[in-house]
Structure 1
């Protein structure tokens, strides 16, 4: 009976397409008819099979430990739903996603949004569905996100919901400290103390190099040191406040305390690979690396950094310890999603308390944070607990979004990335790079 019903519906869909093609209507009408018929055929197929497939855009499936537990839990509660992940890669994820969503062939139901500039690009292109009506009908309490949703509301509408709220910490390799007879980092270090500590651990012996610090090639690994005082943001149009941090990192680079930026850029060395080599004493990176590190150590893939810990971010004089940068990862529904209502059910699950506890059990920091969730993170198998810093490092004092929402986010991001690359590779002096950022970003903001 199911096969007969499906055949009839598919035949009708094909007939509709044929009629649309033979009529005297416009190309738009023909396309709409074709798309509608195809959608009906898809729905009939799913109804006949008794299961609906939701397509979810992600990156780094092989490096991310929480995707499958979230899917397993949701599918257990919804046996008639199958979640299909599509990995778009991490390097150009937002660019690829924007291209997919603005094209005619995309059929994603749920999309992961990596950063604020990427979010604003999608909002400006009109390819995301506003979530406000879903949030209201489901009675979602937005206060559980502690103000994050207010920071990503655009013209009174919310197009994404956070499920992760990562923040930057200092990862460190205890074996390097132990071998050097140097005390571990503390949860209250100024940048001057941090720089001195990194220099005390560097070893330049060929073939046995030890780097006191490591800075990934992202501009955020250096520039965001400057916004921890809460007085500046990365979209102000004035960037003199970045100078001391560029000078510190470039000084370390020149003295062999950290690896050369140009070499890292050319080689494409991933930050996880750098830390896994076992010759990096400290690395500033987001808490998203915690779950990956625990998993790779547990499975035996990482053997040279098994004895690790985290500490709170270093801070400028007069800044409260525990002040750090937040970067949220969110979920949204494409405007052309085939199954919007079901997609919302998945988003509400992942971004709510149930999803938060699943994320926390893998060592991942969720957007919904409470005492239960915090305990789950620190009690996860492989999380360091006996070093005096790691558990406390999960408690933050001030969180600043890496880049606040602005309609010109993407344009500003491009300028900042170009200047960062030029400064770090030696193509420009710090003063020249700052002058370029000042001039170009101010021009963008004035448009």
Structure 2
């Protein structure tokens, strides 16, 4: 998922200056810093450290990690501070500037990691990284000049979710792990027509409004170089989704944005038979089916469709790791407690705790897989297991000074194309022109 913070190079430069100017404390967590939890404690005394999170009612992973860590470390309590999911980075930047940010904060994706790190807003946690198992995925994504600035606890991938009951109702075969995007598009149209014939208003698929749902796949599956500013390879991906939208096989972009549709409600209340979405949705759907916020129905997830059959044996998908870093404006004792927490989130114990609620952790060894598929409600068919265990996950955001500015340009292009203001060719060409004039010189 990508969130817009600032537009263009000017915004990016201003953001960098703000972060650098407000970096408050020393990069090694010196005791003269300000803006952490303020809960100092002598060695061995109880201490509370704070952690940023979002959508706490529907995103249980933060509390699960906090509780599991506290159980193993009863002298340290992790207190959650909730942020708005869609404005997370904007609010975090404001709190860092004001000196009111929590002791630890999540790197929701890699889009803004460079900005935080370059602005001296992340503590060097190389000592924690050095003690982690080689099984932990995504650590290298947080390395800059040989130092590590965050520890991953999640490594998502994007799947194709599908409603078995809706497929069964009209006799359409489930995704079998070999689908290309053309197969997916054909199935979406077939499902839409067949469901309509039964009186159902459900569409064949649902594509959420994020730019990730098109551009993430284009970058990963076309070996595209986002930083180059040459993005012609995105055009066929947009042509396909515009055709599905025009055919009525998925909700149109205008309806999604105007009516504030959520992907959870669209798939969870069976308004769509399929949906490309990240692996984090497994935990959400399980929780919502249990609470009654989602319908009770049989579902599964399959490998995401591919451009052609050459990659179906090891499907190419995308997702940034999700890591946690430490606010450098904390006292030494808080920094030490926070590092203990980071060491925990990179452990197999934490991975099993996350797998136990349907989250894909940064460690996915055999023991973690057994926990994940032993969870009540998680699909255990061979296709779902293959989607979880076999894929080539490529990062969505390269770590670079230009990433945020280029992604913001592409976000504007996505909105213009999906709303029908421009054709895919026109929108991508305009974005490339902007990238060259505003960012790449």
Verify same fold: TM over 0.5: yes
Residue 251 of structure 1 pairs with residue 247 of structure 2: no
**Where do residues 116-155 of structure 1 align in structure 2 (5 Å cutoff)?**
116-136=110-130, 139-141=131-133, 143-146=134-137, 148-155=138-145
Q: 2:374 aligns with which of 353, 369, 379?
A: 379
| Equivalent residue in structure 2 for 1:264, among 250, 256, 263 | 256
Q: d(CA) in 1 for partners of 2:38 and 2:228?
A: 48
Distance (whole Å) between structure 1 residues aligned to residue 374 and residue 211 of structure 2: 32
Q: Does 1:366 align with 2:344?
A: no
Judging changes above 3 Å, is the alpha-carbon distance between structure 1 residues 39 and 110 closer, same or farther for their aligned structure 2 residues? closer
> Hey, what does 1:441 align to over in structure 2?
435
Tell which has more relative contact order, 1 or 2 (C-alpha 8 A, sep 6+). 2
**Matched-pair contact (CA < 8 Å) for 1:172–1:282:** yes
* Bigger radius of gyration among the two: 1
Alpha-carbon distance change, 326 to 36 in structure 1, aligned in 2, over 3 angstroms? closer
Secondary structure of the residue that 2:412 maps to in structure 1? helix
Shift of 1:444: 5.0
2:342 match: 347
- The answer to whether the aligner puts 1:412 opposite 2:402 as a matched pair is no
Match of 2:12 in 1: none
Paired position in structure 2 for 1:23: none
Given the superposition, is the C-alpha separation of residues 393 and 292 from structure 1 closer, same or farther in structure 2, using an over 3 Å criterion?
same
Cα distance in 1 for partners of 2:54, 2:218 equals 29
Give the deviation of 1:225 after TM superposition. Answer: 2.3
Q: Show the counterpart of 2:46.
A: 51
Give the 3 Å change call, closer, same or farther, for CA 205–102 of structure 1 in structure 2.
farther
Counterpart position of 1:226: 218
Secondary structure of 2:292's aligned partner: coil
Query: Partner of 2:275 in structure 1?
Result: 283
User: Could you say what secondary structure the match of 1:117 adopts?
Assistant: coil
Alpha-carbon displacement from aligned partner over 1:57-98 (angstroms, at most 9, x marks no partner): 011111113222222221112212221101111011111111
Contact 1:238-1:437 at 8 Å conserved across structures:
no
1:246–1:49 distance in 2 versus 1, CA, 3 Å: same
Q: d(CA) in 2 for partners of 1:209 and 1:236?
A: 42
In the alignment, which of 292, 313, 320 is matched to residue 300 of structure 1? 292
Higher percent of residues as helix: 1
Q: Any idea what the Cα deviations from partners look like across 1:8-45, whole Å, max 9, x if unmatched? A: xxxxxxxxxxxxxxxxxxxx9xx99xx9699999556x
Match of 2:176 among 169, 175, 186: 186
Q: CA RMSD in A?
A: 2.6
1:207 positional shift: 7.7
Q: For residues 233 and 39 of structure 1, what CA distance do their matches in structure 2 show? A: 38
Q: Distance in 2 between matches of 1:236 and 1:114?
A: 24
Query: Any idea what the Cα deviations from partners look like across 1:275-301, whole Å, max 9, x if unmatched?
Result: 122120100000000011112112333
Q: Check 1:427–1:85 CA distance in 2 against 1; reply closer, same or farther (3 A cut).
A: same
- The alignment partner of 2:81 has SS state of strand
> What is residue 4 of structure 2 aligned with on the other side?
none
- Alpha-carbon distance change, 345 to 252 in structure 1, aligned in 2, over 3 angstroms: same
Q: Check conservation: 1:234, 1:402, Cα contact below 8 A.
A: no
Aligned to 1:6: none
Match for 1:328 among 321, 328, 334?
321
How far apart, CA to CA, are the structure 2 residues paired with 1:442 and 1:396?
37
Structure 2 residue 187 is the aligned partner of structure 1 residue 197: yes
Between the two proteins, the alignment pairs up a number of residues equal to 408
Q: Which residue, 387, 394, 399 being the options, matches 1:393?
A: 387
Contact 1:217-1:261 at 8 Å conserved across structures: yes
What TM-score do the two structures reach when normalised by structure 1? 0.85
More deviation, 249-258/264-273: 264-273
User: For residues 187 and 109 of structure 2, what CA distance do their matches in structure 1 show?
Assistant: 32
Would you say the 8 A contact 1:320–1:397 is kept in 2? no
Match of 2:300? 309
**For each residue in 1:223-247, what CA deviation from the matched residue of structure 2 results, as whole angstroms up to 9, or x when unmatched?**
1222343521333311111111111
- 1:18 corresponding residue in structure 2: none
Residue 443 of structure 1: how far off its partner (Å):
3.8
What is the rounded CA distance, in whole Å, between the counterparts of 2:36 and 2:353 in structure 1? Answer: 35
Please name the residue that 1:173 is paired with: 163
Distance 1:370 1:111, change over 3 A: same
Matched, 1:63 2:58: yes
Quote how far apart the aligned CAs of 1:118 are: 2.2
Shift of 1:397: 3.1
Q: Structure 2 vs 1, CA of residues 194 and 340 (structure 1 numbering), >3 Å: closer, same or farther?
A: same
**Rounded Cα–Cα distance in structure 2 between residues aligned with 1:291 and 1:332:** 23
Q: In 2 relative to 1, CA 399–318 (structure 1 residues): closer, same or farther, beyond 3 Å?
A: same
- Residues 39 and 215 from structure 1, CA distance in 2 versus in 1: closer, same or farther, beyond 3 angstroms? closer
1-structure distance, mates of 2:293, 2:62: 19
Partner of 1:20: none
Match of 1:164, SS?
strand
